[in-house]
Structure 1
Amino acid sequence: MPLPPPPQPPQQIMRLGPRPLPLHLGTALMTWASSENAWQLWKRDSPISNPDSAVPELLAPVVAEANALEATGGAGRFEASLRREIARRMDRLADGVLAYRQHPVHRTLEEPPTVWRDGNTRLLDFGATHRLARKKGARAVLVVPSLINRWEVLDLTAEKSLLRAMAAQGLRPYLVDWGSPNEQERHFDLTAYVSRLDRALAFVAKRAHRRAAVMGYCMGGTLTVALAALRPRRVAGLALLAAPWDFHADTTGHGFLLSAGPLLADLADRAGELPVDILQTLFWSLDPWLAVKKFGRFLGLDQGSDQAREFVLLEDWLNEGPPLAGPVARECLVGWYGNNVTAANQWVVAGRSIVPRKIKTPALVMIPSGDRIVPPRSAAALVDARRGLRNVTRLDLPLGHIGMVVSSRARRLAWEPLIEWLKAR
């Protein structure tokens, strides 16, 4: 009898990040290569130099030193050194990307049980395995992440999991996993998603035999403001983590998004969705050099360290987000970012204008001061004395948008006050 074939090792899915990779590599190459082109304009005796082309004041000492080096060390010496440096930097970027793509670490945390489904959306019960969270009277919390990035950043590792920390402290968090839009959901607008949240909230309240609190992170926070406006009696408390509201309060770094928004909305209309690589291009526009800097730092880490492990898991989260349904993309790009309908009290969900000032539900607004994705002034509109939420507590954090949930200081500065506030409801 022939022996059975040996078991095959599980195949790891090839990483595609950082996405879109051609854009990151092209940004670096074109910028570094432009320095060689500039040198041809400014070096002495260059056939294409222009005497009328003034050297920028900041670069004048460098150009003078380079010309002196050429004069004393031989023609082409500086140019050769410049080419070597460009090649070194490109090699370092490529090596950093390859080190990430080939890293053996993958997220292995066991998921909690799924207790509810609607289309491709499901609820994960993070309190199911925690004794304190299962106690009678434990406060249920509906946790709503963004539609753009998946939920795993709230449960990155066993040590850095806001959701598991909430359960360990006696809360019962139910996490919304939006999934990826199926054929029907590709036609969803924001009203459809808020309606789905309404059904999820009703399920959680029925299961807990009492009203639930609601916590929203990033775009999920904006959606939960609408939920609280539509269902004020169902929400025991509203916690908002870096939730954008006034999209014109600070447009620093958002120029590309504002100018390209209508074109991208037309693309989403035709395609039925806004693809992941387009969404990542919008994040690239906030800091085109971020990938170059962070993958260079990653290459210098001990690849077996916790720091390297967390970098890989965060990059996987950033690069594996779902596409955005076409109508949602149009509402966000044109309605939110273009026309600022939220801050103008003109955002209509389920036929009603969403006006924060009319919401009486107790609210906590957490604003990370180092946030580049949601400018602090955008989130702070929800605590404005004239137009913000009525019964609100503001908490400013010396953290970033992602750092408020996964950094080394997140537990002390963000998790603990958030948990205490939710328990007090």
Structure 2
Amino acid sequence: MQTRLGPRPLPLHLGTALMTWASSESAWSLLKQGSPTSKPASEVPESLAALLPEIAALEAKAGPGQFEQALQREIRRRQIRLADGVLAYQRNDFQRDLEDPPAVWREGNTRLLDYGATHRAARKRGTRAVLVVPSLINRWEVLDLTAEKSLLRAMAAQGLRPYLVDWGTPEGEERGFDTTAYVARLERALGYVARRARRAPAVLGYCMGGTLAVALAARRPRRVAGLALMAAPWDFHADRTGQAFLLSTGPLLAEVADRVGELPVDILQTLFWSLDPWLSVKKFGRFVGLDPKGESAKEFVLLEDWLNGGAPLAGPTARECLVGWYGENTPGRGQWVVGGKRIVPSKIKLPSLVMIPSGDRIVPPLSAAALADPKKGLKKVTRIDLPLGHIGMVVSGRARDLCWTPLIGWLAALPSRRARVVAV
């Protein structure tokens, strides 16, 4: 079994917990009356000062030094629980065991996986083909995590023919790709699917893949039957809550990407960490209490493997995203240029679906909602708000009913149209 490195970057997650817990002891030594390092009562924040009489009363009842000892025991308990949770994950035997469908098209390290190849319902004449575009950062496996939690297999079982873009890992000339190069590759993949299906396929984009899918639809509208977007960021300044770290470090990280040729996985994971620094501590603490052979543990391990197994981001694309998207909000302002064309959603007249998870902490709902704005968003748009999270809309227990079913129904109901199949 391959050694697991997660949660990545592990030193950052462990350091966050240890420094915070250590600061609790330091804070107590500053607050404790009579301590050599204690502060005068006038300098103690009101919120903490209000607790001191209660703590003093409890300690008087229990005995001198009891609160400090209890604090140390609790810190130790949390340290052990976090370490046990991480080790239990790293040593777990579960591995994703689904067989990938056949690859029917390749270019560089990118390939198209035909999820309809083994489903009779998806092989019928006139079946709606769907080009599925995941993010460049996190790999596609979250869309096909297990046999029961696979959006792609559910689509095929319902008579759609999904063709998934597996971006692979950027190597060679791909390390010099900007978003124009990636969208150009999508255009060629779309052309292949259109020729194979003899009809214009729909395009489904998830997360950053949705942002790229908007550019694809804007550049090749005659080849696209409809555009479906799941948690696709667009207006990067609509809600910057929780993104201070990313915004402040964006230019510096862009410089790193320029010099290294890519933005490494651990730096990307640090950006996700900044959205909720305590998430790993909480979830690995809960993992300790699960049956290591149970279904819940299996899903946790597979999802964590996916989260920790992303790909680096090509240098020029990293700069474009960090400085252009997050810093200057070029998509939201209608200034994002792909292959010489400004990408303006309001000029896209294709049938469109925008799905917005209200609990999304990775893509703020207001950012994704910009694509459904009556004035600046897509013209023929259906908006669906979901009481789910960014990942939960794909793999949670409620994903099938709340997200998959309306998405598949919308794709299946799109009118058929012949595609222009001339070469790109």
TM value normalised by structure 2: 0.96
2:261 is matched with 272
> Which residue of the partner structure matches residue 419 of structure 2?
none
Name the SS of the counterpart of 1:172 in structure 2.
strand
Query: Partner letter of residue 128 of structure 1?
Result: A
Mapped to 2, the partners of 1:62 and 1:35 lie a distance apart of 14
Find 1:247's aligned residue among 197, 217, 236.
236
**CA distance in 2 between partners of 1:124 and 1:73 (Å):** 65
Q: Deviations over 1:299-353 (max 9, x none)?
A: 1112222111101100000000000000000000000000000011100000110
Following the alignment from structure 1 to structure 2, what is the Cα–Cα distance between the partners of residues 404 and 302? 25
1:109 pairs with 2:109: no
Deviations 1:197-254 (A, max 9, x none): 0000000011111111000000000000000000000000000000000000000100
> Shift of residue 76 of structure 1?
2.7
Greater shift, 79-88 or 124-133, is seen at: 79-88
SS at match of 1:66: helix
Question: Any idea what the Cα deviations from partners look like across 1:3-49, whole Å, max 9, x if unmatched?
Answer: xxxxxxxxx10000000111111111111111110111111211111
Whole-Å Cα distance in 2 between the matches of residues 53 and 303 of structure 1? Answer: 51
Task: For residues 168-188 of structure 1, give each alpha carbon's deviation from its aligned partner in whole angstroms, at most 9, with x where no partner exists.
Answer: 000000000000001211000
Distance in 1 (alpha carbons) for counterparts of 2:42 and 2:87: 40
**Whole-Å separation in 2 of the counterparts to 1:148 and 1:53:** 50
Structure 1 Cα separation of the partners of residues 94 and 53 of structure 2: 48
Residue of 129, 144, 147 corresponding to 1:158: 147
1:4 match: none
Q: Which residue of 1 aligns with 2:75?
A: 86
CA contact (8 A) 1:44 1:67 kept: no
Query: What CA distance in whole angstroms lies between the structure 1 residues aligned with 2:219 and 2:141?
Result: 28
Tell me the distance in 1 between the aligned counterparts of 2:16 and 2:355.
Answer: 34
Distance 2:279 2:363 in 1: 17
Within 2, Cα distance between the matches of 1:208 and 1:153?
Answer: 26
Aligned to 1:231: 220
Specify which of 98, 107, 122 is matched with residue 118 of structure 1. Answer: 107
Equivalent pair of 1:126/1:174 in contact (CA under 8 Å) = yes
Residue in structure 1 matched with residue 210 of structure 2 by the alignment = 221
Aligned to 2:197: 208
CA distance in 1, matches of 2:331, 2:20: 38
Partner of 1:259: 248
Q: Which residue of 2 aligns with 1:13?
A: 2
AA partner of residue 197 (structure 2): A
- Equivalent residue letter for 1:376: P
CA contact (8 A) 1:368 1:404 kept: yes
One-letter amino acid of the structure 1 residue matched with residue 8 of structure 2: R
Segment of structure 1 superposing worse, 292-301 or 69-78? 69-78
Give the counterpart letter for 1:96 in structure 2.
Answer: G
4+ aligned runs moved over 4 Å, structure 1: 69-74
Correspondence 1:142 to 2:117:
no
Extract unaligned runs of 5+ from structure 1.
1-11
SS in 1 for 2:225: strand
CA distance in 2, matches of 1:73, 1:128: 70
Q: 1:370 aligns with which of 335, 350, 359?
A: 359
- Residue by residue, what CA displacement relative to the aligned partner does 1:388-421 show, whole Å, maximum 9, x if unpaired? 0011110111111000010111101110110011
**Does 2:394 match 1:411?**
no
Write the mapping of 1:22-421 to structure 2, written as runs, cut at 5 A: 22-52=11-41, 54-71=43-60, 73-421=62-410
Please say if residues 201 and 224 of structure 2, whose CA atoms lie closer than 8 Å, have aligned partners that are also in contact: yes
- Contact 1:250–1:378 under 8 Å retained in 2: yes
